[in-house]
Amino acid sequence: MQIYVVAPGDSLYNIARAYNTSVNAIVESNQLPFPNQLVVGQALVIPIVGNFYTVVRGDSLWSIARRINMNYLELAQINNINPNSTIYPGLRLYIPPRQKTSIVSNAYAEPLGGQASQALLDDTKNAAPALTYIAPFSYQIRNDGSLQPLNINGFTQIAQQYNNSLMMVITNIQDGQFDGELARQVLESIAVQNLLLDNIIAEANRIGLFSDIHFDFEFIPGNLRDLYTNFIRLAVERLHAEGYLVSVALAPKTSDQQAGQWYEAHDYNALGNLVDFVVIMTYEWGYSSGPPLPVSPINLVEQVLRYAITEMPAQKILMGQNLYGYDWRLPYVQGQQIARAISPQFAISLARQYNAAILYDNVAQAPYFYYTDNNGIRHIVWFEDARSIQAKFDLIKRLNLRGISYWKLGLPFPQNWLLLADNFNITKY
């Protein structure tokens, strides 16, 4: 695959001709509803074998080859140039497909109102070929050790059709929010914990498609840190005996002493070494009730992951990744407004509607744009595109992580699934 950023005056015809592909192939790959209305700054995925790299100031054959883990002599031979010659900005080099590594991929799917919508099931089906796990969200615990039922109809059929495993997500959500007091009531009673595990095992056995039991306990009081670790230890012992893997979701920390109720009870070292794998929630730096920021800026994501691999094996880590962006009204006033979550596809539609050029933050590796709506209100949108997600895939390769976990299905991002399959072989169990 080739990523191409639309410039002023571009047309799909000229782009397709430059890469020896067809307009229809580009339209289909990017699901473009208005092919003749491209947005300046819009990133397109071009379906070709391999990709091209345009030389910039400071590049050399050696530095480019090293960046893509290739011998510079081979790169020179493929492009029919002298390996000892100077290369100049603007030169286009062809990079052939490289051997792909295998990773695990997961995506959460949250049916609202007790049943998955057709739009959510359609998006899940589109993503399923590129997923190891589908994770219906969520089975909610009760303080007596029982589970709130979850209707996963639809997901089971998709998993069987596309050879996905199901991940059984267990949360301490009550009345729509993660509840630290509910977690306390369970974690302070061994009897309740065993009843909870009895009920988890019974439900997993009833469904028959779950291979992993995933604990997403959040906002646990910090003084329950050891009790939470002990509960996960008990869960691993009992669930392994039943043939299930065990995983946990972890808040994005950069040190063991990081303060705050989201972080304190998550012991990276203890939990990371107990379970089969972890999902680190490396997103929500920009969030709905906070100030306008990129949702998962790669510089901050990398800080979290580099800390994590000092506490647990890299091959146990799934990097968390958002499938959405946010649209904020400006000027932002804390506590007075909520940003709306939007899909990458809808972000492009907004930019096209308001004739806004898409900009790109090279530090955060994230696209954004400004627009003024029909009521005269100024907005800023941070979202994801082919460039930002490719940067995350490159980070997974550099750190040799187990894979990636997406929050959440239902907000279309077709470029992501194409690039995921282009970069990796997806493990299927």
Q: Which residues are catalytic?
A: 218
Q: In Å, what is the CA distance from 14 to each residue of 11, 19, 27, 412?
A: 5, 9, 13, 27
- Contacts of residue 245, defined as CB under 8 A and 6 or more positions apart, other chains included, come to 211, 212, 213, 239, 276, 277
Residue 284 CA, distance from chain mean position? 11
> 15, 61 in Cβ contact below 8 A?
no
- Contacts of residue 128, defined as CB under 8 A and 6 or more positions apart, other chains included, come to 134, 158, 159, 161, 162, 164
215/405 Cα distance (integer angstroms): 14
Residue 107 CA, distance from chain mean position? 8
Give the pair of three-digit tokens for residue 74.
Answer: 């081979």
3-class SS letters over 1-49:
CEEEECCCCCCHHHHHHHCCCCHHHHHHHHCCCCCCCCCCCCEEEECCC
140/169 Cα distance (integer angstroms): 8
Alpha helices by DSSP H, listed for 323-423, are 344-353, 386-399, 414-423
- Pairing outcome for strands 366-372 and 210-216: unpaired
407/100 Cα distance (integer angstroms): 24
Q: Residue 299's CB: how many other CB atoms inside 10 A? A: 11
Stretch (H or E) spanning 426: strand 424-426
Amino acid at 112: L
